[in-house]
Structure 1
């Protein structure tokens, strides 16, 4: 079944990109290896589709609406990142600020030009799915700006590439916003008086993994655009601890049998609830004298 195989392939893609992040820790990012990896997995995904078959139109729509765009978004993101780094001018903060602002404006223009499909995609609507996410369909919504299709029509619909680009734009804007923020202020952790104080994680490292994945899956950092490896590296830096490969530590959590899968998060909740209950029960005695 294509959907099951594609899901496993996407997990492999994430693990490979995560390993690249681990190997290049502390080094200025070079998007080329990431782009090559994304291209490799996209080719593998295409082979799945060309050699297999979908179990009906519902599966085909699901694939081209949600699965393929995730793969494509990484390709678009790393290609755009490569171009941004290549075009980045050398100069003062004012020059760099204008450069990043211009790049963000391009994203805003893209969103304005494709507002209909963006609204449709994020609203969860499905009434036009057959027109947008089935192959070889001639009729499409009048508001759709048709992008360049893949060369092989067996592996593309009228809107899947556009959805991938929409997802990628969010990642690109997050990167640009971070770069602009660096121009306005220095790192809080490294340069504030508090940041100079050394903090050490004295609990089990696996507990930090629970926290990291909790933040990752709830999308609380950078509008959900921070990768799990980035979050783990941040924790390692703040707390002077070595966590290791996040996916392997997460596998330890999933393999728990006797304990809760979220043992540490459960302990935190219990501790907070207990403190709140204690505060609510405390009634100060009135001094009637």
Structure 2
């Protein structure tokens, strides 16, 4: 029950962040409203857990291994972004590049220090889940060098915070890397280099929405940490198209009745299968001598 309610709550969080991004597309990002939003939903999630109960240990493990880190990672990400904004020095490109590079080095040090947990988590292993993602455990794996328990142990396990921080640091590193790229090429505009060839999406916008949600739900971008709004904005920028609010466009897909709900993805699969079949059927005639 908790896991289901938490999933719905996370979708609401993503929609709220999406709306903030829509409202602030033409200005530099201000982390404060995003951080307030993340804090609000994190508090709601905590109340949900403290007032309810898990069906069994497996649900508890899944919650603290996969669900809570998603909420907490956004909170950590926007807090880190706020800190970077405050600390960013004023000066030439060389000074800014050194600042961004130093911040990336801190992230690399954190990842190295927690490499064992990182490897365990992304390998899909489960044998130590009970020691890492259950509350009030007496022992944790010896390689978990510094377990992070929050103030309320009813809402904390040895590894859920560290997993959330690993997820957040990946997003921060991507942000810092993009800032360095902007510094290295003075001709790069907000939407890309003026010297590069432009690409335009000439099909229906709803087809691109299908593709965006396909990538989002399969977790193919940034280890699954890229939000649907981020993916849609990437498509809009790359293909010079206005898609609109993703959740509203997704509602159009869900309301399809006569057609397949994934019409475009089905067409892509059919086209690929057809080409493969045609290639398999083609048998070149050997030259006669």
Q: TM-score, normalization: structure 2?
A: 0.88
Superposition pairs for residues 1-289 of structure 1, below 5 Å?
A: 1-185=1-185, 186-187=188-189, 189-192=192-195, 194-195=197-198, 201-221=201-221, 224-274=224-274
Superposed displacement of residue 102, structure 1: 0.7
Report if aligned partners of 2:64, 2:157 keep a CA contact under 8 Å in 1: yes
Q: Number of matched residues?
A: 285
Q: Gaps (5+ residues) in structure 2?
A: none
Alpha-carbon distance between aligned partners in 2 of 1:228 and 1:52, rounded to the nearest angstrom: 29
Q: Encode CA deviations 1:24-75: one digit per residue, 9 max, x unaligned.
A: 1121111111111111011001101111011121111111111111111111
Deviation at 1:8, TM superposition (A): 0.8
User: What is the TM-score with the length of structure 1 in the denominator?
Assistant: 0.88
Matched position secondary structure for 1:257:
coil
The verdict on how the C-alpha distance between 1:258 and 1:189 changes in structure 2, with shifts beyond 3 A counting, is same
Change (3 A) 1:287 1:190: same
What do the CA deviations read for 1:168-196 (whole angstroms, capped 9, x no partner)? Answer: 1111111111111112232574411534x
* Alpha-carbon spacing, 1:287–1:20, altered in 2? closer, same or farther (3 Å): same
Q: Distance in 1 between matches of 2:137 and 2:196?
A: 61
Structure 2 CA distance for partners of 1:200 and 1:193, relative to 1, 3 Å: closer
Query: For 2:2 and 2:226, how far apart are their aligned partners in 1?
Result: 29
Q: Does structure 1 retain, via aligned residues, the 8 Å contact 2:14–2:227?
A: no
> Does the residue aligned with 1:268 lie in a helix, a strand or coil?
helix
Q: Which moved more, 1:238-247 or 1:76-85?
A: 238-247
Check whether the contact 1:6–1:67 (CA below 8 A) recurs between aligned residues.
yes
List runs of 5+ in structure 1 lacking aligned partners. none
Cα-Cα RMSD: 2.6
- Larger displacement relative to structure 2 (221-230 or 147-156): 221-230
